[in-house]
Each structure stands twice: as structure tokens, then as C-alpha cells.
């Protein structure tokens, strides 16, 4: 695992290219530490998650490790409770800063579930998404069963869940599962353009928007308007809330302090 913070961006790289960035127990533990950095470091405004090497973003759980431990095979069906690195990003819901997935090649199983748990996905045109768990006698327990049907039409989700068939990058874009599909050589530039666009926005506004977006999804619309959102209360009472308006009136770029 590589975690590199530069400026306002935390770049997290799954670093097991020799096994296509499969997720073993140690990787899960180190990922958990990385999310603590993202959420806890006040300088970090955006996180980018990717994989090392050229063949795969991530092929999911390290099944060789799983096969060696009977308890791991028969562990809790859904979520990460009691597992290394719990709660994992796939069932951790308190990260208020945007997470962008930079994906390419194989995006399979838990790797696909990890990507779906991020906020935005930029994919290379050679990306192939799949949840092959049913072919292994397993279920996509890190959110795949729940998220895929929320992110693409239900029958499309069921087709891929029940058969394990892969989904091409073009099909993923067709259904809005990813934000962009670009040639591999343009992947870094496309991700950086998206990150810079987020960084131009007020950090407290970004956090308030992300939190209120997710927390309101299951609410009736009238209730969404009356709910209290902690991050919005922070933004509303901040200096930055006035800075943006004053900067506009003074015809200058705002200077965000995050306070």
C-alpha cells in the first residue's frame, strides 16, 4: 500500500501488482489506516484510489489467503464486521471528503465493490468490471449485491450478479456507473482534471454536499429538506460561507481556509 499526500490530495495505491492487487488481510488493515488519514487530515480535500502495475486496478479478495482459512470462507455474509480493516470503505459511511477511483484493466469482485464505494470513477477504456462471486460459491458481500442495483438498472445489475459476466467500460459508461472512459494514456490527465475541479470548490461546501446527498437518498423529499446535516451546519457557520460571496462581489478568486 502506498499513501502519498501532496497538497490537498491523498493518493492511495494498492501495491500488489504481482497478484493483480488482490486484497489480503494486511492490505485491508493498511487501507483502513489510509481512510483515517483522508478523513482526519484537515489539509486533505480529495482522495484518489488506484492500483499499481498495468494489468488490474484490483481483482478483489485474495482467494488463496481465504481458501487457507475455513473461518474466512464462512465469515459474515455482508459487511466487514470482525474482519481485518473493519469497517472497510465498502461499509464505512463517514468519509465526508470525495474519493475518486482511477481504474484500469481488471476491476473484479471486491475491487469492483471498492470502486463502487467511491464517489466518482474515471476508467481507462480497457477496464472490465465484474462480480464473479457466484461462480465461486460466494456472494458479493462487500456491497456489490446492494450497490450495483442502485447504480445501474435492476435487470442489468441482476444479469451481472447472477452470471458473473464482466461489464465493459463502454457499458459501464452507458449506464452511468463510471463518470468517464478515456484511453489509458489519458487516464492520469482525466483524473487530475476532475480532482482540480473539485479543489476549486469550497472544501466545506464539498463536504456538506457529499454528506447531504448520501444521507438524503432514502428520505422522502420533504424530510430531506428538514433533516439536520452536520457538515452543512459547519459550512453555514464558517468564514468560507461569506468568503465566496465577497470574492464574487470583488471580482476575485476566493481564498478558501476550510473554516
Specify whether the CB–CB gap between 160 and 131 falls below 8 A: yes
Residue 250 falls in the annotated catalytic set = no
CA distance 13 to 3: 6
CA distance 201 to 256: 8
Q: Strand pairing partners for 48?
A: 11, 100
Catalytic residue chosen out of the listed positions 18, 36, 65, 113: 113
Q: Strand pairing partners for 12?
A: 3, 49
Set of cell numbers at residue 60: 478483489
Q: What is the 3-state secondary structure (H, E, C) of 124-135?
A: ECCCEEECHHHH
Residue 26 falls in the annotated catalytic set = no
Catalytic residue chosen out of the listed positions 6, 36, 65, 133: 133
Specify whether the CB–CB gap between 191 and 99 falls below 8 A: no
Which position has the grid cell 476508467? 123
Q: Strand pairing partners for 120?
A: 100
CA distance 249 to 234: 23
Active site residues: 113, 133
Amino acid at each position: 500500500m502506498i499513501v502519498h499526500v501532496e497538497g490537498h490530495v491523498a493518493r492511495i495505491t494498492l501495491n500488489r501488482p504481482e497478484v493483480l492487487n488482490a486484497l489480503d488481510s494486511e492490505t485491508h488493515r493498511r487501507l483502513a489506516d489510509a481512510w483515517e488519514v483522508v478523513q482526519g487530515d484537515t489539509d486533505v480535500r480529495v482522495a484518489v484510489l488506484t492500483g499499481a502495475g498495468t494489468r488490474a486496478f484490483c481483482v478483489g479478495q485474495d482467494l488463496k489467503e481465504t481458501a487457507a482459512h475455513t473461518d474466512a470462507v464462512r465469515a459474515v455474509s455482508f459487511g466487514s464486521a470482525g474482519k481485518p480493516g473493519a469497517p472497510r470503505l465498502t461499509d464505512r459511511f463517514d468519509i465526508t471528503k470525495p474519493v475518486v477511483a482511477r481504474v484500469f484493466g481488471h476491476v473484479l469482485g471486491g475491487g469492483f465493490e471498492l470502486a463502487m464505494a467511491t464517489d466518482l470513477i474515471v476508467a481507462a477504456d480497457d477496464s472490465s468490471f465484474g462480480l464473479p462471486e457466484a461462480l465461486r460459491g460466494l456472494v458479493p458481500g462487500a456491497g456489490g449485491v446492494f450497490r450495483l442495483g442502485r447504480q445501474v438498472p435492476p435487470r442489468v445489475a441482476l444479469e451481472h450478479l447472477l452470471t458473473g459476466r464482466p461489464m465493459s467500460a463502454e457499458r459501464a459508461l452507458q449506464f452511468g456507473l463510471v463518470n468517464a472512459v478515456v484511453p489509458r494514456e489519458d487516464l492520469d490527465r482525466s483524473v487530475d482534471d476532475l480532482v482540480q475541479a473539485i479543489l476549486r470548490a469550497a472544501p466545506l461546501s464539498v463536504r456538506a454536499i457529499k454528506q447531504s446527498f448520501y444521507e438524503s437518498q432514502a428520505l422522502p423529499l420533504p424530510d430531506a429538506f428538514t433533516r439536520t446535516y452536520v457538515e452543512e451546519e459547519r459550512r453555514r457557520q464558517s468564514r468560507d460561507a461569506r468568503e465566496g460571496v465577497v470574492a464574487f462581489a470583488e471580482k476575485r478568486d476566493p481564498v478558501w481556509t476550510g473554516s
